[in-house]
Each structure stands twice: as C-alpha cells, then as structure tokens.
Structure 1
Amino acid sequence: MRIPFARTSAETTLFLQFARCPCGNGDFPGHGLPWSAAVLAVGEQNTLRYDWDCPGCGRYREYSFRTPGVPEPFPRAGEIFRWGDGVTPSQLLDPGQWMVVADRYADRDGARAAAAVDEVLLFVRKRMLGRWAVPRTAFRTADGWRRYRRDPREFTRDRLLIARDGYRDATVKG
C-alpha cells in the first residue's frame, strides 16, 4: 500500500480527527492524548509514523504519512491561512470531509472555513456540458459521501466560490 502524502501537520491532525477508533474513541497523540503516548518515527523518504494504543479499548493504532522534504513555513502576518499547499488536492481528506471541516469552523473561524473550501476547489474538474464541479469519484470516505449526499450542488465551482468568499468576508467584518 502506498503511504499517503501529508502536505502539512495541520492536514495530518485533521485526518487523525476523522480516523476514529472502531470503538468510537477519537483521542490521538496531541489531541486528548499526550505526545508521550505515541511513537513518532521518521523513516526513509520523509515518512512519519504515529502509533499508540487507543485509550478507549486498548487497540493498537498506527498511521504513516509521507511528508514534504522541507518543513512547511509558518504563516506570516496578513497571509491567507491554508491547510495544504494550495496546489495539489489532499491525499488524506476527500472533498466531503473538507466541507465538514468548513462547517465545523464556519461560526468561529472564517479563515479556516474558507481555507477548507479552497481545499475542495482543488478537486474541481470540468464535467459534462462544460460544468465545473467535484467529480463523484473524488469522494472516498463515509464522512465525505454523507456530506456530498446532503446537497451535491454545493460541490459545483460556483457554489464553492460563493461559500469561500462568504467565509472570507465574514472574517474581514468580524
């Protein structure tokens, strides 16, 4: 199995939030568990492995990610927040999951919500009849499909741009 590419540590954290243990526990190192509860190993070709025992059921959990060769820079004042690199679609989260992230941040952090919609826009492709939208094949998780089925029209380019700009406007006014 190919190890997925994690563009930033923020994206890795979001992925781990979605990857709940089958027992339902969502704690992971750095989020509900101390970092000392995990073995973080850096391997060949910039791979990073997180492993720990679930505090809910004791099940062994392990996730490995490929990471950029150069660490992500800290955002400078005035820069637009980004979850990823702004160029390549996520290999960790699908477009529906990114919309769940936008929903989660909508009321409290418009910049992060807008950045999540920017991530969805990276999946947009030209479809039949010249329409631009996220293809159904981009949705690969139960969370993503659930969000897509709520309103598939939200995944057209025009609707995504309106949503993103609305979050950005709310941030400026807020």
Structure 2
Amino acid sequence: MPQTLPLARTNLEARLFLRLQPCHGCGSTTCDFRSAVVNVAGDLVSRYTGTCAGCGVLREYEFRLPEQVLVPGVDTVRFGSDEPSELLDPGVWLWYSDQCARQVPESTDGLDERGRRAARHTLATALAAVHEVLKFVPDGSPSVPDSAFASVDGRAVYQREPARFDRDRLEAVRDHYANLLSAG
C-alpha cells in the first residue's frame, strides 16, 4: 500500500496540498490537520487527520515519506528536493507563487520588524514555488511539457497563459524574486 501513496517530500509541501483540498462533504478548505508518522503494512507513512470546520467530517490523508528527510532552513523556504512534486502540478505551483507575491508590499519602509520578516518569508515562499515549477522542465527543454499539468486547476492556469511556463520566463521570475530578497 505505501508504494501507491503519493510522496510528500516535506511537511511544508504536504500542508500546502492539504490547504488546497476541499472537503468531500461540504467543499470547505478549512481544516486543522494534525500529523503523525504511523506504521502501515510495515512501512512508515505520514498521516494527516483533521475535522472539517464546515461540516465536521473526519478528513484523513496519507503520504509516503522521502528516503531522506529535508531539514528546513532557517531563513529559507523549501518544499522538496530536486525531483518534481507528486502532490501539486506546475500550474498549481505557479498559481501559489502568484498568490504569495501579491501579498508582498512594494516597500517595507512602513513595516515594523515583524512585518518585514513576514514580507521576506512570503517572498521567499513565492520564490520557492517558482523553483518547484522549474523542476518540471526537462533538461534541454524550453518549457514545462503539456503532460505535466495533471490537475484541473493547474491546467486552467496553463491554458490562460502557456508562455508563463517557458524556462526563460520562469528563470526571469525566479531571479527577480531572488534579487528582491537579497536587496531587502
């Protein structure tokens, strides 16, 4: 059974995936998940359980654990190692990057230290999500292949503007976010 479970490369990736999953009972995405590592058929898996805030139904997800656990960085955001995500497709990753980038103020001049840290973390999250999209670009390819868009939401992002998934454009966005982080 565990080999058929999707891989959650990090807790951060799993929690983002969970936050985007609607309840099958009512459609709410609000759920406070708890996580535990459990033994399933002799294999360790990561189990997330919670009660839907909308209808009270118990929600449960299980994921394979990575071969090597990635330790979170102090001032960085990292969703996974070098392989592409099995939980989220490149369209969802780019959508999430956009959502994060929109939350970052153009200037942090009027923010206190806590606000500046939050803005930096949000920008670092947008940068990490762009890194995730780039993992779907095969070596030597100019863009993310059409076949990588496995979800309805991800495919919709791709269909609205497929050129956003060109390697050069993704690298330009990545570099822009990295430069903003290093300047701030």
Q: TM-score range by the shorter chain?
A: 0.7 to 0.9
Which moves more between the two structures, 43-52 or 102-111? Answer: 43-52
Asked whether the equivalents of residues 89 and 119 of structure 1 are also in contact (C-alpha less than 8 Å), the reply is: yes
Superimposed CA distance per residue, residues 39-97 of structure 1 (whole angstroms, 9 cap, x where no aligned partner): 745124321122333221233322110112543213145xx532111x11000110011
Q: 1:157 to 1:163 in 2, by over 3 A?
A: same
Unaligned runs of 5+ in 2: 105-121
Equivalences for 1:31-70 in 2 at 5 Å? 35=34, 40=36, 42-43=38-39, 44-70=42-68
Query: What's the CA shift for 1:114?
Result: 1.1
Partner letter of residue 85 of structure 2?
A: S
2:116 matched to which residue of 1? none
- 1:84 paired with 2:80, answer yes
Report the residue type matching 2:134 in the other structure: L
TM-score w.r.t. the length of structure 2 is: 0.78
Aligned to 2:123: 110
Aligned Cα RMSD in Å?
2.1
Q: Secondary structure at the match of 1:47?
A: strand
Answering whether residue 91 of structure 2 is matched by residue 96 of structure 1, we say yes
CA distance in 2, matches of 1:112, 1:157: 19
* Residue-pair matches, total: 161
Identity of aligned residues (%): 41
Q: Alignment partner for residue 25 of structure 1, among 21, 25, 28?
A: 28
Amino acid at match of 2:90: P
Shift of 1:125: 2.2
Does 1:165 pair with 2:161? no
Q: Within 2, Cα distance between the matches of 1:49 and 1:131?
A: 36
Taking structure 1 as the reference length, the TM-score comes to 0.82
Unaligned 5+ segments in structure 1 are none
| Contact 2:70/2:80 (8 A) holds in 1 | no
How many Å separate the matches in 1 of 2:162 and 2:71? 35
Report the residue type matching 2:31 in the other structure: F
* Residue in structure 1 matching 2:142, options 123, 132, 148: 132
